Structure 1
Amino acid sequence: MSNITTCIKTLGRGICIITGASKGFGHTLAQQVCSLLESGSVLLLVARTGTLLQKLTEELQSSTSAQQLVVRCIEADLSTEEGVKETVRAAKQEDVKDVDHVLLINNAASLPSISHFSSFINPDEVNSYLFFNVTSALTLTAGILQAFPPRPGLRWTVVNISSAFALQALPSWVLYCTGKAAREMMFRVLAAEEPNVKVLSYSPGPMDTEMQEEICRLTGACYDLLPCQEPGAKLMKLLLDNNFISGSHIDFFDA
């Protein structure tokens, strides 16, 4: 019998930062990424609710895959300037001189008011939504890039959790579509500027989360929902294969 060598892919010895990590898709991604990071990696979990973050940390630390990782919580509200600055400060404090991969997953987002275009006459409402969903993601990503500048042997990956509605107009969803479209272009510019940074906008499809429950309650539009584990597993495979074109948009149903 011939010997068969199995090649096991990993995300390397890295620092992985996940925003919106305390529940929903972010919670699932935190669980899934643990088994793909090598021993000594750092996992930074960012969310505004400290109790949920701590519960997630305890869950992860009880699993075999996470026992060789450094798991830290960053309680920060990314809808505020201070929350963005606190996240960057916390990331800078990590000793990552030996890491070979920086992975930032921009998952944090919010559900806007769902209303006709002509109802949005309050600039503060619009600006508040766009700060959290666009400005925050831009300044956080820029801050992390400065904290861990590209160098030989360092793999850099930025993931933007996107939506089909970054590319398609949906009536009464002007803020949501605008925010997702702006993020999409923002990260395409990053891909064009930084050839050493691999950038992916990933649309996970309709998932079984609290946000989808709220959409159903508000609009009556209820979809067949995916368990978060399925889109999460497909994203992990995309990151492991690492053969997507930087700056591209990939939908769960097309991957």
Structure 2
Amino acid sequence: MPSINFSKKSIIFITGASRGIGRTIAIELSRRLEQNSILILLARSEKGLEETKAQIGEVDKGITVQHYVTDFSKPNIDDYTKLIQKVLESVDTKGIELGMLFHNAGYVGTVKQTTDLTDITAWREYYDVNLFSVAMLNSIFIKKIRPVAPQLVVVNITSLVGRTPFANLAMYGSGKAARDIFFKVLATEEPNVVVFNYSPGPVDTDMFEYIVENAQSTEVQKSFKETRESSILTTAQTVNKMLELLEKGDFKSGDTIDYFDS
């Protein structure tokens, strides 16, 4: 695959950019990006987005940073179209060489036995955020950014739970599995778009803590607690590994690579 050169003028969208992995992607990218680049931060929390923006400013004041409060629990193609149109009208698109979208927003859902996952509203809400909003935003991103940026890259933050069954994580795992195949099909259909599925490993985030505290099974809680004590990663460790993999380009579009893959 062509390696991704972050030192070109870029326009990069990051969902879930108000905390955790999303915030770290934004900050670590700002260390690599060409100064005229544009970072677009999307999440529900205005306060969190402002904090991310402030931290980017400490790294590099030359990058244009915009943030938009976006609620991915209400997927709406018109809203995403207006959002990306608004971005394009407000920035200097001249000379952009790279357009990227990091699909990072998401949540774990209900952590119970499969036979107890009977709340249809919880299922719908989970899929609205974790799959339907992703598919809608992705479509608009490719259609609107393609005329602006000669190279397009889409990164799906996935998880081992989408490929390996973990007790109590049927909802979370099914969403990740659905997203993985969605992006593999995208890679098949769009040979000019670089598609990368990245599995960040066990990371010290609110999401990981949520499983430790809320899993129905005490065995699952115990297993996650043990991971937290022995092999949990920082967001910076896993994000830098992901960016290095993108820079090397040593993968086929549509591949899924885990932090622990050699």
Q: TM-score, normalised by structure 2?
A: 0.88
Task: Measure how far apart 1:150 and its partner are.
Answer: 5.4
- Which of 232, 238, 247 aligns to 2:254? It is 247
Are positions 1:156 and 2:152 aligned together? yes
Residues 254 and 150 of structure 1, relative CA distance in 2, 3 Å threshold: farther
- Note the residue ranges of structure 2 that are not aligned, 5 or more in a row: 216-220
- AA aligned to 2:28 is Q
- Which of 50, 55, 59 aligns to 2:55? It is 59
- Which of 7, 30, 36 aligns to 2:26? It is 30
**Greater relative contact order: 1 or 2 (C-alpha under 8 angstroms, separation 6 or more)?**
2
State the SS of the aligned residue for 2:207: helix
Contact 1:84–1:136, Cα closer than 8 Å, also in 2:
no
Superposition pairs for residues 115-126 of structure 1, below 5 Å? 115-126=112-123
As a proportion of its length, which structure holds more helix? 2
Q: CA offsets per residue over residues 175-234 of structure 1, 9 Å max, x none? A: 111100000000001100100000000000011111111211123231231111111111
Are positions 1:111 and 2:108 aligned together? yes
Q: CA offsets per residue over residues 103-160 of structure 1, 9 Å max, x none? A: 1100001121111112222322211101110011111111111111257x71111000
Count of residues paired in the alignment? 244
Contact 1:46–1:74, Cα closer than 8 Å, also in 2:
yes
Superposition pairs for residues 31-50 of structure 1, below 5 Å? 31-50=27-46
- Note the residue ranges of structure 1 that are not aligned, 5 or more in a row: 1-8
- AA aligned to 1:237 is E
Q: CA offsets per residue over residues 74-119 of structure 1, 9 Å max, x none? A: 1111111256456434433333232000011000011211111122
Residues 107 and 168 of structure 1, relative CA distance in 2, 3 Å threshold: same
Structure 1 equivalent of residue 70 of structure 2: 76
State the SS of the aligned residue for 1:81: coil
Q: TM-score, normalised by structure 1?
A: 0.90
